[in-house]
């Protein structure tokens, strides 16, 4: 059983600049892959190659075992794609657009009517179905784009910034929609909203300057943060300086940072979990703890580290 999306040594060059540089990864059924990277890192270019819009300079993309360059039509049939910015025919109504896409997707008659009705109710497009698309709000446009992508119930779903421009409620709706569909599909979403990755993705890739710099579950990536297992400790204003002096002397503590005059951030040696030890120490020293918690790590911190260093290297 091969993965639904298989990408091998994918490269794209525009003139002299290498936009995508030797990307290799796979996405299996049931996975939601978050594609992360700063603007201009090559996320959209990669997605355009995966969906067959752009021809790779070198490397291969296989969708369901078929090469997208050798069997373009067969592989495109298995893909649902929301391009960057959700471009749509502005003169058409959502009803006409969905009918057009459904027709091209080979849906006919009653099946077509049924599928369109399903998707419209699922994405809640009923109210705007007969309005011209250029009169719709950004949120509705994005939803129409999403609707046309899932119309034929594709195995592979590629969504380029699916929640961009949506309000918090709409974002939540789109995320739950993605999660609902995740079990029998391979889904790739690109985003620069890191909380989204934590919310919906089972795996995240970070790319910078076209190169893959990290690949793992959101938790694994967070663990690479220097904030991973750091303990935040809030004491009274008198005791905080004492603790700040005492803590770094312990060998299981790497360093200690004073955030404001009452809160300390304690970085453990080697990333181990030290919250119990800190709590015990506080009791023996007689510190009055007002708040204590352990941080999971910050994805944006990992993101910054990885993408910045990659930027400096090239």
Partner 1 sequence: MNTLGIIIKRELAGYFLTPVAYVFIVIFLFLNGIFTFYLGGFFDSGYASLQPFFEFHPFLYLFLMPAVAMRLWAEERKSGTIELLMTLPVSLWQAVVGKFLAAWLFTAVAVALTFPMWITVSYLGDPDHGVIAAGYLGSLLMAGSYLAIGACISAVTKNQVIAFVVSVMICFLLLITGFPSTLEVFTGWMPDLLVETLRSFSFLTHFDAITRGVVEIKDMVFFLSMILFWLYANAVVVELKKAG
- For β-strands 203-208 and 32-36, DSSP reports them as parallel
Strands (E), the chain: 5-14, 17-27, 32-36, 58-63, 66-67, 79-82, 156-160, 186-190, 203-208, 211-216, 231-234, 253-258, 263-268, 291-294
Give 106 or 126: the residue with its C-beta nearer to partner 1: 106
Sign of CA dihedral 67, 69, 71, 74: positive
CA distance 81 to 51: 7
Give 145 or 268: the residue with its C-beta nearer to partner 1: 145
Among 2, 24, 53, 113, binds partner 1 (CB under 8 A): 53
Give 89 or 252: the residue with its C-beta nearer to partner 1: 89
Q: Does 148 bind partner 1 (CB under 8 A)?
A: yes
Among 40, 65, 100, 300, binds partner 1 (CB under 8 A): 100
Q: Does 79 bind partner 1 (CB under 8 A)?
A: yes
Give 89 or 293: the residue with its C-beta nearer to partner 1: 89
What is the number of alpha carbons within 13 Å of residue 29 lying toward its C-beta? 10
Closest CA to 38 of 194, 180, 146: 194
Segment interacting with partner 1 (CB under 8 A) among 31-39, 68-76, 115-123, 169-177: 68-76
Segment interacting with partner 1 (CB under 8 A) among 87-95, 189-197, 231-239, 300-308: 87-95
Among 7, 33, 41, 88, binds partner 1 (CB under 8 A): 88
Among 32, 36, 38, 81, binds partner 1 (CB under 8 A): 81
Token pair for 133 = 């698309």
What is the number of alpha carbons within 13 Å of residue 277 lying toward its C-beta? 15
The residue ranges that bind partner 1 (CB under 8 A) are 14, 48, 51-54, 72-74, 76-77, 79, 81, 83-85, 87-92, 96, 100-101, 103-106, 148
């Amino acid at each position: 059983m091969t993965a639904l999306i298989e990408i091998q040594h994918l490269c794209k060059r525009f003139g002299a600049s290498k936009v995508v540089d030797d990307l290799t990864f796979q996405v299996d059924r049931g996975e939601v892959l978050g594609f992360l990277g700063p603007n201009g890192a090559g996320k959209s270019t990669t997605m355009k190659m995966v969906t067959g819009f752009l021809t790779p300079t070198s490397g291969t993309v296989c969708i369901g075992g078929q090469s997208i360059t050798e069997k373009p039509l067969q592989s495109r049939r298995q893909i649902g794609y929301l391009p960057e910015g959700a471009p749509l025919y502005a003169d058409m109504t959502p009803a006409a657009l969905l009918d057009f896409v459904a027709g091209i997707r080979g849906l006919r008659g009653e099946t077509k009517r049924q599928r369109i009705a399903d998707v419209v109710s699922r994405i809640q497009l009923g109210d705007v179905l007969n309005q011209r698309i250029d009169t719709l709000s950004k949120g509705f446009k994005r939803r129409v784009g999403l609707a046309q992508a899932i119309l034929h119930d594709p195995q592979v779903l590629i969504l380029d910034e699916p929640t961009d421009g949506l309000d918090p409620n709409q974002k939540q709706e789109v995320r739950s929609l993605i999660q609902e569909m995740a079990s029998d599909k391979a889904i790739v979403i690109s985003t620069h909203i890191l909380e989204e990755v934590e919310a919906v993705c089972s795996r995240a890739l970070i790319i910078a300057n076209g190169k893959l710099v990290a690949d793992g579950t959101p938790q694994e990536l967070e663990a690479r943060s220097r904030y991973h297992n750091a303990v935040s400790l809030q004491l009274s204003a008198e005791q905080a300086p004492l603790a700040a002096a005492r803590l770094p002397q312990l060998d299981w503590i790497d360093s200690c940072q004073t955030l404001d005059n009452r809160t300390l951030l304690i970085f453990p040696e080697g990333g181990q979990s030290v919250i119990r030890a800190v709590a015990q120490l506080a009791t023996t020293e007689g510190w009055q703890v007002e708040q204590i918690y352990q941080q999971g790590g910050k994805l944006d911190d990992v993101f910054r580290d990885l993408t910045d260093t990659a930027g400096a290297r090239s």
